[in-house]
Structure 1
Amino acid sequence: MTEARAGMLLVATPALLDPNFADTVVLLLDVDHQGALGVVLNRPSAVSVDDVLEGWGEVVAEPEVLFQGGPVGLQGALAVATLTDAADVPVGFRVIEGRLGLVDLDTPLELLRGGIDQLRIFAGYAGWGADQLDGEIEEGSWYVVPGEPADAFRADSADLWRAVLRRQPGEMAWHSTRPFDPDLN
């Protein structure tokens, strides 16, 4: 079993029946002894970023909509971004892994321009208490796999679940071919 840590992806298995997470890919942003926090990468909403956060729509990756980051804290937002240059971290940016990190949405946009490549904003997040995520992984609800920075910024995230599984080694890649509704098989 791969260790869950910041920057890794959680890919929902067929055993995960919670409708909040069925067929999702979650980017882990923080994992420690107190729990874990992440955002669902493949749930775009119909809400334009500019409708909620004026000015931010011009800097987010397409589509320029909020993504549903998870069922917790829906009134708040988290911004995930990649740095233009890993050696030059702008004010308001916290590194998660490599060039990937979180942007403080209270930071004036002019301080971030030129310092970040891509940005996506998530309404809400997914959270687990101490040992809760480990238990879900052990029961077979999640595959834990390495993430790539581009995973968080795909223009069409509908096929992200399959794409992430397809690039995994060995038999795990086979899971990418299962139908979303096994009754249709």
Structure 2
Amino acid sequence: MEACFFSSKSFIKTIQFESSIKPKTLPFPNTNSNLFYSTKVASPSSITCCLSNDEKQPTLDSDWRSFRAKLVATEKVSSPSSWADPDTVVDQPPQPVTIGDKWAHTICEPEKGCLLIATKKLDGVHIFERTVILLLKTGSIGPLGIILNQSPLKYIKEMRSTTIRDVSEVFSHVPLFFGGPLEDGFFLVSPTKDDDDDGGMEKSGVFEEVMKGLYYGTKESVGYAAEMVKRNVVKARDFRFFDGYCLWDKEQLDEEIKAGFWIVVACSPSVIGIASVGNVGLWEEILGLMGPRNVG
């Protein structure tokens, strides 16, 4: 089967689809117009530092993010408050720190699977106001991500196509979201544990894992994804498709973070699962998980 995908080009040339959302250049200094924006924010805690290169991922198990989150939570608990008496003797040992199913905290470097949270400095900027961007990769090409909290543009079944009829029928009831101003298509898939108990997604070698249980694919892999749905390896409802993406170069991202346009955040998989895509309240939810802070 020929692998085809629902990208901006295919929408316009093949499916006669025209998005109502147009890219808008941000008023950043020294911005490269051929790239687009990403995020990265410093954290005062050395614990939250991380590796930004996809080729240098930590060698811990797949739950290393949770381990780091526990360290961050422990540090917050162990740090003395501003009103505490430094001469007070504490007789009781500190209690073990636990984290819930949903958590989020800042990190000092962008990494695959992290979030870029727009600050209030981007209020009024058409595309990026109050956005939550998931970084799919951070390698030599530059940070690449998709916007998670935009309302769906339409459903796949509403598209008109003769060349991708087979694929569009498989994903007919899957919503299509605006992922960013640059032309191309991506999809996220998060199979349920029962459907993927043999690790079929990871073993396929076709999809890249963003974080535990969440994978992404490109136009080269959408045909294979449709075949997996037909073989009941994964359900069509476990997919989310995106029209467009965001891209930065490293220096541009650094400048925007230093200027305070973005906060770089690590979070648990449950925060940005498939069900969270299109949640317009995701920005507020993540800030709430991080606790009181100034996002302006």
> TM > 0.5 between the two?
yes
| Paired position in structure 1 for 2:179 | 69
Q: 1:76-128 CA distances to partner (integer Å, 9 max, x unpaired)?
A: 32011124348613333221222111132121523243346822111000111
Task: Indicate whether 1:162 and 2:284 are aligned.
Answer: yes
Report the count of equivalent residues: 167
- The structure 2 residue matched to 1:110, chosen from 206, 220, 227, is 227
- Contact in 2 for aligned 1:88/1:115 (Cα 8 Å): no
Task: Indicate whether 1:24 and 2:143 are aligned.
Answer: no
Q: Which runs of 4+ in 1 moved over 6 A?
A: none
| Paired position in structure 2 for 1:37 | 144
* Distance (Å, rounded) in 2 between the aligned partners of 1:78 and 1:106: 12
Pair 24,168 (structure 1): closer, same or farther in 2 beyond 3 Å? same
Shift of residue 155, structure 1, vs aligned partner: 6.5
| Paired position in structure 2 for 1:12 | 118
| Paired position in structure 2 for 1:80 | 188
Q: 1:20-67 CA distances to partner (integer Å, 9 max, x unpaired)?
A: 111100001011243110000011233112234332134xxxxx4211
| Paired position in structure 1 for 2:87 | none
| Paired position in structure 2 for 1:61 | none
| Paired position in structure 1 for 2:200 | 89
Structure 1 residue identity aligned to 2:176: L
| Paired position in structure 1 for 2:241 | 121
| Paired position in structure 2 for 1:57 | 172
Match of 2:224, SS? coil
In our comparison, the structure showing a higher alpha carbon Rg is: 2
- Contact in 2 for aligned 1:86/1:99 (Cα 8 Å): no
Pair 155,27 (structure 1): closer, same or farther in 2 beyond 3 Å? closer
Structure 1 residue identity aligned to 2:128: F
- Contact in 1 for aligned 2:177/2:278 (Cα 8 Å): no
Match of 1:163, SS? helix
Structure 1 residue identity aligned to 2:137: D
* Distance (Å, rounded) in 2 between the aligned partners of 1:132 and 1:6: 17
CA RMSD of aligned residues (A): 2.5
TM-score w.r.t. structure 2 length? 0.51
* Distance (Å, rounded) in 1 between the aligned partners of 2:224 and 2:179: 20
- Contact in 2 for aligned 1:79/1:102 (Cα 8 Å): yes
* Distance (Å, rounded) in 1 between the aligned partners of 2:132 and 2:142: 18
| Paired position in structure 2 for 1:98 | 212
Pair 46,108 (structure 1): closer, same or farther in 2 beyond 3 Å? closer
Structure 1 residue identity aligned to 2:238: Q
Higher relative contact order (CA 8 A, sep 6+): 2
| Paired position in structure 1 for 2:16 | none
Pair 44,152 (structure 1): closer, same or farther in 2 beyond 3 Å? farther
Report which of the two has the higher share of strand.
1
Pair 143,68 (structure 1): closer, same or farther in 2 beyond 3 Å? same
Q: Gaps spanning 5+ residues in structure 2: where?
A: 1-41, 43-106, 160-167
- Identity between Structure 1 and Structure 2 (%): 28
